[in-house]
């Protein structure tokens, strides 16, 4: 079961402006966005979709205008070059973890199930959550919890983990949660969501991968091409917002003698688009989604 595509109409409306164009769906998942994009294309149009998760390949569909590439979207530019594509008309990235990945208990993404500490989107990679929790030093763990989970008590959490693992390896999600059983009940759900998010981001290098994808997107988009990104937490959204503003993630862009800087994108709307109440009611995972669309200058 893959989640219903979030902001489906809004995102594809923003993306597809030329039915004859070449488009990219960076996060194929259940294929909901891809199918909608293809439905908007003419016979000349083309869509390339990416997904590193082997399970997502089962959702492939047969259409000569569509190609599914089993790769992480950090390899966007080189992968497209293998198909003879150097420029595209639009790129969509829905950054959410799929319902399928959460619901497959053995993947270790969910806070609700007892499962091996895994959290790999690409099951072929060696780094998993178990290695991070049992092998990273205290300082590295604290940084992950603070920067990726925005947990203020990060240093204490890291210290508790390092102390416990000296006597027993932390094997499962339940083993990890038991270390923090002292938390008051009203704080538990939010705390575990932040903790698991932090570990998942580190396992999959999600923020680094996002940065690489955004830079490559700018390079391969045609002038006037569109980049549509749907993010689900503030760490992602800040990166997307800043990159769409000036093509950078940190620091200040160079300005001309009049104090103006060269813009990377023109924003379709100044504020992020969010799902309406009806969509959130039908799909609870849409509640934190924010969509931003930029037109390459």
Which residue positions form the known binding site?
31-33, 51, 73, 94, 101
Rounded to whole angstroms, how far apart are CA atoms 214 and 216? Answer: 5
Whether the CB-CB separation of 64 and 42 falls below 8 Å is answered with no
Token pair for 178: 């038991």
Residue appearing with tokens 């992968």:
79
User: Which residues are documented as binding site for S-adenosyl-L-methionine?
Assistant: 31-33, 51, 73, 94, 101
Q: Which of 121, 118, 120 is nearest to 171 (CA)?
A: 118
Alpha-carbon gap, residue 177 to 114, rounded angstroms? 10
Element (H, E) at 231: strand 221-231
C-alpha to C-alpha distance for 28 and 68, rounded to whole angstroms: 8
Nearest of 123, 121, 124, 108 to residue 176 by alpha carbon = 108
Where does the chain have alpha helices with state H? Answer: 8-15, 32-39, 76-81, 99-103, 129-135, 138-149, 154-165, 173-178, 185-204, 206-220, 234-246, 277-282
Q: Which residues contact 278 (CB under 8 A, 6 or more apart)?
A: none
């Amino acid at each position: 079961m893959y989640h219903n595509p979030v902001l489906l109409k809004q995102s594809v409306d923003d993306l597809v402006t030329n039915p004859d164009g070449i488009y990219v769906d960076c996060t194929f998942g259940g294929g909901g966005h891809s199918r909608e994009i293809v439905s908007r294309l003419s016979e000349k149009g083309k869509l390339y979709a990416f997904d590193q998760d082997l399970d997502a390949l089962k959702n492939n569909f047969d259409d000569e205008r569509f190609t599914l590439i089993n790769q992480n979207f950090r390899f966007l530019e080189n992968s497209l070059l293998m198909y003879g594509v150097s420029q595209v008309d639009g790129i969509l990235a829905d950054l959410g973890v799929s319902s399928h990945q959460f619901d497959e208990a053995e993947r270790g993404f969910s806070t609700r199930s007892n499962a091996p500490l895994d959290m790999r989107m690409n099951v072929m990679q060696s780094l998993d959550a178990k290695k991070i929790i049992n092998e990273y030093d205290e300082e590295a763990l604290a940084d992950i919890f603070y920067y990726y989970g925005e947990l203020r008590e990060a240093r204490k959490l890291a210290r508790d983990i390092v102390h416990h693992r000296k006597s027993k390896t932390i094997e499962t999600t339940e083993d990890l949660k038991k270390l923090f059983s002292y938390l008051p009940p009203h704080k538990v759900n939010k705390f575990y969501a932040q903790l698991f998010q932090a570990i998942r981001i580190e396992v999959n290098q999600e923020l680094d991968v996002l940065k690489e994808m955004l830079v490559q997107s700018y390079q391969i988009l045609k002038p006037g091409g569109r980049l549509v990104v749907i993010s689900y937490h503030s760490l992602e959204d800040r990166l997307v917002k800043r990159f769409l503003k000036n093509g950078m993630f940190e620091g200040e862009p160079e300005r001309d003698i009049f104090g103006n800087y060269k813009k990377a994108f023109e924003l379709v709307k100044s504020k992020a688009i969010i799902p309406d109440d009806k969509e959130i009611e039908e799909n609870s995972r849409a509640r934190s989604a924010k969509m931003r669309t930029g037109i390459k200058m």
